[in-house]
Amino acid sequence: MSSGNDRISAEERLIARYFSPLAKHHGAFGLSDDAAVLAPPMGHDLVLTTDGVVAGVHFFPGDPAADVARKVLRMNLSDLAAKGAQPVGFLMSLAVPAATKKSWMARFAKGLGEDADHYGCALLGGDTDRTGGPLSIVIAAFGAVPRGRIVRRSTAKPGDIIVVTGTIGDAALGVKLRRTKSLAKTWRLTRAMARHLEERYLLPQPRNALAAAVLRYASAAMDVSDGLAGDLAKLCRASAVAAEVDVASVPLSIAARAAIAAKPKLLERVLTGGDDYEIVLALSPARLPALHAASKKAGVPVTEIGRLRKGRGVRFLRNGNTLDFSRTSYSHF
Amino acid sequence: MSSGNDRISAEERLIARYFSPLAKHHGAFGLSDDAAVLAPPMGHDLVLTTDGVVAGVHFFPGDPAADVARKVLRMNLSDLAAKGAQPVGFLMSLAVPAATKKSWMARFAKGLGEDADHYGCALLGGDTDRTGGPLSIVIAAFGAVPRGRIVRRSTAKPGDIIVVTGTIGDAALGVKLRRTKSLAKTWRLTRAMARHLEERYLLPQPRNALAAAVLRYASAAMDVSDGLAGDLAKLCRASAVAAEVDVASVPLSIAARAAIAAKPKLLERVLTGGDDYEIVLALSPARLPALHAASKKAGVPVTEIGRLRKGRGVRFLRNGNTLDFSRTSYSHF
């Protein structure tokens, strides 16, 4: 038949070559259709979230393609973890400058596929377009929670303990280091410390291994992506509670401690900077031992940093003084 | 309490002011959380799709903000309609240049909200970021179909009639007119005709009113967004069938007919250009009367344009000759 009218477009070839192999969920139809189909497991709700990245805003244009892919997927996975949801799948929309090489796309798809497998979150569908601007990627990710059990921001109670996972502030320092290499010297960091901070910015470590414990024990939770101070303030506003945080208890990496020792004003950046992709959660003191046990099992450190009270506002206390930040959270606006 | 640490960020204000009022689905939590929750109606699957637009690629930077919002939502709604799904809700990711005015955002949100109400597709959540590039918007939309009943591309059969909704090619001519106003004279168009074509590019009319009939009667379907020739070729490849299209039967607007009469070579652009947002569907001849009755009731015109056969490839026949296009579909790649 008229083969000239049966040519496969460049976009179809791109999808078939790099992304169809990632579409391992039966509802993705191997990306051969316009849409995917999905039903939550029996007795479960779907949890939906979306997060995107733009080159030059959320990552450096020269960052490894595989890490860019992993970063945007992990940003979404972090939201699912904080809501107590198990990953199911995701849609991805790519806007690609004309100069993007096939080899970049191959490495991007490889990184994406590895994380999709690791976290059990399959590609369900997508959209690929040209852009006259910077490369940008948007993911919408879907998880499952038992019906009615999504962990909200708004359900924390006075008396709850405030807990965070991992360490806070590394990525906010890491992105500064990426921009100004000489800061490593100013901050008196070893090469390993500088690399640790930069890698924490490059590649988030979402806490999905702790999601089941968040679901079971947290009275409220959210992921820390725009800075601990600002995100905790959001949780407190949503729950109509006040918080007191003991700054000395906030878990910091060795590298972040070293930088703050050299430049004490970095403490504010650590507590208000973005890109942590940790979880802040509130829970009844009675549940703390169970959370610690789950944390140990999951290999995700958790640290008590303060307490919720009646009232409103978030106080960061250090040596009996309240810190007052010039800004509480990272916002592009 | 420490009010300085309880400031609401500019992004939160933006969301609260313009987008929270659109979050009418209970699972959106008024956009006050990190994620939304959704379960398909009993006995239904969710249908998931995503489509995005970039200023300067999919719309003109000066296009009315309300129409830009409607366009990107409708592109997604069109996919749902073609799969036989009823709209449920959507996630939206916005990447906004610093120079974007609040008044633009207000008009954007108004247009988006009006369409969300009209099509019964509520905002479930989103993400807002700065970009150093052009404004871009990605929507992931969700619909519902009875379990296992999503209308695929791959299930058409030899002997099926090929039907399209509405008219084909208007938007592909409209975008050319937008770029070169003087073409209206070359094409001998009245002002009303030129406006019709431009508006078909500016604002798709997705065929959601026909979705229930597509679900009931189509053996296969997809939306026509990358050009009739290329999209029909995709459907035929997926179904492993051949198609013969009678070019004289392809439904054209008065404006498109006038343009083709003045410049016959525009026919290729009409049949291969993009942005129709119509539905091409295949169905058993026995179901044609029922489809016509549903079409009349829904107010969505449908036209038979050809037939599927055993074999492969798509032939466009005109006066006994097979047209051979230089390209079959619009692709940004």
B332 occurs within a structural domain: no
B226 and B288 in a single domain? The answer is: yes
Q: Do the Cβ atoms of A316 and A249 come closer than 8 Å?
A: no
- What pLDDT does A332 receive? 52
ipTM of the complex: 0.94
Average pLDDT over chain A, rounded to an integer: 94
**Residues comprising chain B, all counted:** 333
CB pair distance less than 8 Å for B9 and A333: yes
Enter the tokens of residue B249: 């039967």
Which of B7, B11, B150 lies nearest to residue A37, judging by beta carbons?
B150
Q: Mind telling me how many Å the CA of A153 is from chain B's nearest CA?
A: 6
CB pair distance less than 8 Å for B1 and A138: no
A211 and A167 in a single domain? The answer is: yes
Which of B119, B146, B173 terminates a domain? The answer is B146
CATH number, residue A98? 3.30.1330.10
Kindly state whether A149 is in contact with chain B, defined as any CB-CB distance less than 8 angstroms: no
* Residue B333 confidence (pLDDT) above 60: no
CATH number, residue B319? 3.90.650.10
B85 and B192 in a single domain? The answer is: no
B308 occurs within a structural domain: yes
pLDDT-based confidence at residue A4 (cuts at 50, 70, 90): very low
B197 occurs within a structural domain: yes
Q: How many domains does chain B have?
A: 2
Which of A89, A116, A146 terminates a domain? The answer is A146
- Determine the structural domain holding residue A54 and report its residue range: 10-146
pLDDT in tens, B184-203: 999 999 999 999 999 999 99
On chain A, the residues whose CB falls within 8 A of the CB of B32 are 153-154, 238
Q: Which residue does chain B place closest to A220, by CA atoms?
A: B33
Q: Which residue does chain A place closest to B28, by CA atoms?
A: A48
Read off φ and ψ for residue A52, nearest 5 degrees: -130, 165
A37 and A133 in a single domain? The answer is: yes
* Residue A6 confidence (pLDDT) above 80: no
Question: Cα(A16)–Cα(B24) distance, rounded to whole angstroms?
Answer: 37
B273 occurs within a structural domain: yes
How large a percentage of chain B has pLDDT more than 90?
Answer: 89
B183 and B255 in a single domain? The answer is: yes
- What pLDDT does B4 receive? 45
B94 and B172 in a single domain? The answer is: no
Question: Cα(B173)–Cα(B183) distance, rounded to whole angstroms?
Answer: 10
A180 and A238 in a single domain? The answer is: yes
pLDDT-based confidence at residue B13 (cuts at 50, 70, 90): confident
pTM summary value: 0.94
- What pLDDT does A1 receive? 31
- What pLDDT does B55 receive? 95
- What pLDDT does B155 receive? 98
- What pLDDT does A272 receive? 95
Which of B96, B115, B146 terminates a domain? The answer is B146
A171 and A318 in a single domain? The answer is: yes
Relative to beta strand A86-96, strand A122-130 is parallel
DSSP B113-170: HHHHHHHT-EEEEEEEEE-SSS-EEEEEEEEEEETT-PPPSTT--TTPEEEEES-SSH
A176 and A296 in a single domain? The answer is: yes
A5 occurs within a structural domain: no
